[in-house]
Amino acid sequence: MVFIQKYKIYMQERRKPSLLHISRHRTQLICNLMITYMKGKYKRIARLDEKGKRFEFLVSRLDESKNNGYYIEAMAITYALMEERTYSLLDKLGISYRNKDKLYQCLEYFKKNIIDRQLTLTPTKMSIDELTDWLKVEFIDSGLVDNIQLWREKRNGVIHDLAKTTIEYSDLEETCNSGSEYFRKYTAYIMKLKKVI
């Protein structure tokens, strides 16, 4: 009889999960969650068109370059992404530009059309005046467009005068980080624009 009781106790103790068992169980759950997340992420990427895939790649490359101290590469990518975002912004708003226009000219067209209230777009979720006011507050009055223009000038100075002058490494890092910050704000406002048009 004592043997049977000891055996029952032994079996109950054996059924209790050990710390190792709990650790393996949690690890397995975490791995499953990560796999599920990654599958969802891959599905999201798979839905992107060619331009979207290229854009995603460049954004990840921007972050990688910045984190590894490749500031000139990061600035070149930031400029290209800002220019592409600006073309997209002008297209959404129906603002015309020439194919060879660069970031500077496109931002100037944007400012002029907003300040002079010359948008011809017909928004569905607000009036044209409300949209123009929103764009003016978010992009122009906030100083974002002017800050992008100032950053562009600094970036051009770095790229074009790299071999001519001594440029402090800390200046490269600062210019790179500010450009990345402006790009992220700019992108966020453009994403908001999609929701309010």
- Residues 30 and 105 occupy one common structural domain: no
Dist. CA 135–CA 142, nearest whole Å: 10
Question: Which domain range does residue 24 map to?
Answer: 1-47
- Residues 58 and 127 occupy one common structural domain: yes
Mean pLDDT score, 41-48: 52
- Residues 192 and 98 occupy one common structural domain: yes
The percent of residues in the chain predicted with pLDDT above 90, rounded, is 58
User: Would you give the DSSP letter of residue 136?
Assistant: I
- Residues 41 and 80 occupy one common structural domain: no
- Residues 186 and 119 occupy one common structural domain: yes
- Residues shown for the chain: 197
- Surface-to-core class of residue 23, CB atoms within 10 Å of its CB (0-12 exposed, 13-18 middle, 19+ buried): exposed
- Residues 83 and 109 occupy one common structural domain: yes
Q: Check if the beta carbon of residue 105 is closer than 8 Å to that of residue 152.
A: no
Q: How many domains does the chain have?
A: 2
- Residues 114 and 159 occupy one common structural domain: yes
- Residues 95 and 158 occupy one common structural domain: yes
- Within 10 angstroms of residue 126's Cβ, the number of other Cβ atoms is 13
- Surface-to-core class of residue 197, CB atoms within 10 Å of its CB (0-12 exposed, 13-18 middle, 19+ buried): middle
- Residues 37 and 83 occupy one common structural domain: no
- Within 10 angstroms of residue 63's Cβ, the number of other Cβ atoms is 13
- pLDDT per residue as tens digits for the range 120-168: 888 888 999 999 999 999 999 999 999 999 999 999 988 888 888 888 8
- Residues 13 and 110 occupy one common structural domain: no
The per-residue pLDDT for 21 is: 43
- Residues 42 and 114 occupy one common structural domain: no
Q: Kindly report the pTM of this predicted structure.
A: 0.73
